[in-house]
Structure 1
Amino acid sequence: MKGLMVVCPSCGSLNRVPQERLGDKAKCGKCHAEILPDHPVNLAAASFNTYIQKNELPVLVDFWAPWCGPCRSMAPQFEQAGRTLRGRVLFAKVNTEEEQSLGARFQIRSIPSMVLFKIGKEYARVSGAMGAADIQRWLAAQGV
């Protein structure tokens, strides 16, 4: 049975998901949490590397901060794009106030900034608040 490896956002376990089931509400084989949630996953420094490097689906990370007005206004748009693209792209968020080391590591100079990762490698990035349709168009332009 061929499928894609997907990291459980709750326990970090690897799960093989058949491609035809990527749109389903697949559950983790270890903790039984949903592994393809319809909302962005909050990443901390401890879980970041595993989630980014082990997922075979592209991961779009929104680097944001709670005091940032454009970040707050983009949050529901980011979530909406995540629901629309569920099973094709994983959506995650990093609070740069709480995870300053990740902001520094990826040289985040303005927020919101979105970074697209493909199998652990940074593939593309864009800064500034975007609507859900703009996020989807940007991802399509990246071949996602």
Structure 2
Amino acid sequence: MSRSQELARSAKRWRIIGVLAFLLGAFLIYQKVYYEMHDFYAENFELYQEEMTSIHLDLTDAALLDQAMKEMQTDCFWQAATLLEELKKHNASATQIAEWYKILCMVGLNKKDEAIQLLEYYTEQDDFDFNREKALELLRVY
């Protein structure tokens, strides 16, 4: 076998090894990108799902609050208070809004003692800032 044939054979062998190494590298890069994208989409899907759940709860809260306001406008204070209790079950952040409207319900029902107790509770809460000034003013009036 001549030297040129050996070199041709060696070049052919190295070409095959190079192609196989390229394919293996491409496959490994594909796997790495695929798993990173999978993790990215899985993480974003969880965030999206949480956001959609909170939007759904916000819409539920808004519907309940709207219905409670309608009940209060027609002097159905007890039904409004019941709806506000339901609102508190759906979303913890709606507690202060529910408590505020419950205070208004007690005022509307002329339940002065309960209204004063709720007003005192409401004004003592540090994280309740919804209509705090109005609550303090109502407490002073009572």
> Greater strand share, 1 or 2?
1
Aligning the two structures, in what range does the TM-score lie when normalised by the shorter sequence? under 0.3
Give the TM-score taking structure 1 as reference length: 0.24
The structure where helix makes up a greater share of residues is 2
TM-score (norm 2): 0.24
Higher RCO (C-alpha 8 Å, min separation 6): 1
